[in-house]
Chain A
Amino acid sequence: MTEETVLHIAVVGHTNTGKTSLLRTLTRDRTFGEVADSAGTTRHVQAATVQLDGRDSLIWYDTPGLEDSMALFDWIEQLSRPGQRLDGPERIGLFLRDTKACQLFEQESRVLAQLVKSDATMYVVDVRDPVLAKHRDELAILQMCAKPVLPILNFTAQAPSLAQPWIEAFARQGIHIYVAFDSVTPPSDGEQVLYDTLAQLLGQGKATLQALSSQAQTARERRRKAALSLVAELCVTTAAIKKNVAEKPSQREAALSAQRKRIGDLESACVAELLRLYAFAPDDYTAAELPVTNGQWQADPFSSQALKQAGLSLGKGAAVGAMAGVAVDLLSAGLTMGTGTLIGAGAGSIWNGIDRWGSLLKAQLMGQVQWRVADAVLKVLAVRNLQLIQALERRGHAAQSPIVAHPTLPKKATAGAGESRLPFDPTVFEAVMIHARANPEWAESLSNDRARQLAVQALTPCFEASSLFSAYCSPRAP
């Protein structure tokens, strides 16, 4: 980086247009500032630093909302004495030196003081509001400060959107570049778009802004990859779970619920990791909306509802099996499902194969049944958590309502009734699951078997190519 300069960008706007919300989303910090649906929630200028390679490179300034721009404009207008021809910055300078004005317009003067110190301004508007005279006055005052202004159309994703009148109002002030950025459901590449657009406006900060833009992109890609590999790991670990259970129904019930709990714990640990990765907190969920309370999944992956929620139309048999709680393959007398597993094991190593046969025989001799997690359950786990990642990627850190973790899957026109609509390639998934089943030691918490890592690495690209992550692009500003 050739430039060592730090860019200062003030975020201004009318009161209650979501300036702090925007910064929460931009800084991925849901605790930044204070947010409420009310005027004057933010009462001072707060800085948020963005680092580039560990160095401060850009500082956002969250400012109090402008509330009385009409009176402010009048005040500034009357500052020039008859015969004086003052330009914008001179008038703003006069205003800021006027102690009485600064008392009267306490919040506005803070905003203007920050604005004249900054390199550029982002003017945030709530597109659900109509354009009013006070907004035009605000724009006129901003123009007086002689700094580049980038309007941000906030809450574009929510009805009613009155974006067009706003765009016209900006054009009247000679502002033709703007960015649509909904701080609750931001475009996935929103941060990049913002930096790129600012780079167009700010000649001296171009290099920094471009570096920030590519940093944002890299971070986004790394985050997704890490998230997907968490889910892949969850699937591999769950598939590896093996349990020998006595054939007595009473013992079987207890063992089954213990296994369910184990899988539930694995999943909630994965969810907690995902939330942490995307800088959300567990309370971004509410019990009413989501199956998580006290870290436990209420709707366990074995229920028919979970299957439905995940939008899976699995074969009837599998679904019925899952519903009845027979969620685990029964490796009972006839080696019903054993063949696939054993072939997988044999391909891995002969010893593993023998080992598998051995434990199977031992189980049979002792009158036990071997339990494994069913394919349907593994698919539910995968789909559900991939959907969670999708929801987290689309969620702004300003969002206050809980995550909708189960959006309906896009319907494929070609998919016939009853056909599985998995959002990823089932062949790779199943192959990895078979491999995982052949290696029960992978289910151990401290397992860092090289082959296990390879299995996780093989599954991650399969998830990456998922239709869940290809369809979503941001609508770029024209």
Chain B
Amino acid sequence: MRYLTDPWLYEAVRLSEQQSGWVDDSAANQQAINTTNDGLGRLWSRAKALAPALALEPAVAKVRTNLKLSALLLCFVALVLGVSAGLTALGQAQDAVNVIWALLALLLVPTASFVLWAVSCFVPQGRGGFLGQIWEWLANRWLSQGKTALAWRAWVTVAQQRGAQRWWLAVVTHGIWAVLLIGVVAALLAAFSLRHYTFVWQTTWLDAEVFVGFAHAIGAWPGLLGFDVPSANTILLSGNAAVDSPEVRQQWAHWLVGCVIAWGLLPRLIALIVTAGLLGQCYRSKGSEPSDAYALVALARMEKQAQKPAFDDPSGPTDVWPQALFLPIQEGTEVNATVSIETASLDDIHAVFGGQVHALMRIEDRASRQQVKAQLQAMRPKRLLMIVDAQHTPDRGVFNTLLALTPHVVQARLFLQQAESKRNRVTQWQEKSQAVGMGPPLTDWSAAVQWMNGHD
């Protein structure tokens, strides 16, 4: 029963969380992560840590007690029944005991139910026996409120998952029958010790040999265990009228007790031990990691928590952007120029401005940047329109390039060439150009033409 409580608690927590939502589990997760790397182990220790907060531990304890109590109650009832059955079978001391009749009365029902149970073992859907089911029914009755109901369902679920349910019921069934038969044996022993009985067998039309054969056949197995079997002569003498000899009486009493023990009690005890062993087997292995949605989510939560967030250093200064430090030159030539950074071609520019402006080459790399810079230094234009692609993300590199050009012109203005796609980042360009002190960019070709013609 090594793995009884852990899976039980886990199942109870699972049902509880599935019913009433996930609980705050960060402390429990941390505990689970620290305990083990194994998924199933983490799930169990998470549940164990959560159980107190969900008030499931007392519920589990209550279920445990109730199960034991109901089993004890049934055992007590069985004991009383057994004793009374034993006494009833012997009848009043003044009448001779009909041994065959008494034996049948004591063994017929237990043996029939035992055989039924044994047959049911070969049926895949078989349950664990009638008395076990009564016990389960009692538990269902008792444990139907709130958290206890949850803990009880969890217990059943685990038993089902582990294929242990029928063995539980079998253990309870055999246990109760064993107690009942112990009651019978106890009653027989007490009655034989304290009262005077004589024994007979009776028949109307059967041959006496049948009884000799029956008593010997049925007594052979108890005989092996050391119980007396009446001799053929004794049996023949006991027919229809009792023989009141101490030896004969003792032999019959031994035979009767031996039969009840060997055919009734012992098989039950053996079955009890075997089923208890099988039951233990069900809880001996740890089991495989569950892969239902709940378990996967819980494991993912723990894994996420195990990934401690890590940073290299605190964030650096956010304002590492270049600033338009140099004032533009005061006096330039009357030339107006345009330059395109990684976007519009010369043809595009000519198409808009005709021959009125001086279109410088497109800046694409280091070399072209140097060349344009040198051209501007020589040209000293009055107005420079710097055309950028509004789809690009405005980054520090572009602004470094732009700000390297502005010291060589009187006035410079940014123009955002927009594509038809939705990926234009006009607002970002506006913000960044404001941030570096460049003024708002132009976004419209006609405005750009106007600006180049001297209108501000």
Contacts and interface: CB of A to CB of B under 8 A. Distances in A.
B141 interface: no
A223 B299 CA distance: 12
Contact of A14 (B292, B311, B318, B395): B395
B425 A37 contact: yes
B393 A38 contact: yes
Interface stretch (A81-89, A283-291, A442-450): A442-450
A48 B369 CA distance: 39
Contacts of B156: 448
B313 interface: yes
Interface stretch (B33-41, B78-86, B184-192): B33-41
B307 A134 contact: no
B160 interface: yes
B392 A49 contact: no
A46 interface: yes
Is the contact region of chain A dominated by helix, strand, or loop, or is it mixed?
Answer: mixed
Given A29-B304, A107-B316, A132-B342, A47 B393 contact: no
Contacts of B313: 44-45, 110
A38 B307 contact: no
Contacts of B304: 29
Contacts of A223: 296
A54 B432 CA distance: 45
Contact of A448 (B22, B153, B307, B391): B153
Given A54-B36, A128-B423, A226-B291, A113 B366 contact: no
Contact of A39 (B295, B308, B369, B394): B394
Given A45-B312, A106-B316, A134 B296 contact: no
Contacts of A222: 291, 296
Contacts of B393: 14-16, 37-39
Contact of B312 (A49, A113, A130): A113
A144 interface: no
B428 A448 contact: no
Contacts of A20: none
A110 B365 CA distance: 24
A219 B300 CA distance: 10
B15 interface: yes
Interface in A99-119: 106-107, 110, 113-114
A43 B300 contact: no
Interface in B416-431: 421, 423, 425, 428
A55 B37 contact: yes
B112 interface: no
Contacts of B395: 14-16, 39-40, 65, 67-68
A156 interface: no
A73 B366 CA distance: 10
A67 B428 CA distance: 15
A51 B153 CA distance: 34
A439 interface: no
B321 to A, nearest CB: 9
B396 interface: yes
Contact of A67 (B310, B311, B315, B397): B397
A48 B307 contact: yes
Interface stretch (A184-192, A271-279, A320-328): A271-279
B37 A54 contact: yes
B303 interface: yes
Contacts of B428: 37-39
Nearest to A54: B37
B400 interface: yes
A68 B366 contact: no
A413 B160 CA distance: 46
Contacts of B421: 160
21 contacts: A39-B394, A44-B313, A47-B309, A47-B310, A50-B307, A51-B303, A51-B307, A55-B37, A56-B306, A68-B395, A68-B397, A70-B366, A70-B369, A71-B397, A71-B400, A106-B316, A132-B364, A133-B365, A160-B421, A222-B291, A226-B292
Closest 8 CB pairs of A and B: A54-B37, A133-B365, A68-B397, A45-B312, A47-B310, A67-B396, A16-B393, A49-B307
Interface of A: 14-16, 27-29, 37-40, 43-51, 53-56, 65, 67-71, 73-74, 106-107, 110, 113-114, 128-130, 132-134, 136, 160, 222-223, 225-227, 229-230, 273-274, 276-277, 279, 445-446, 448, 450, 453
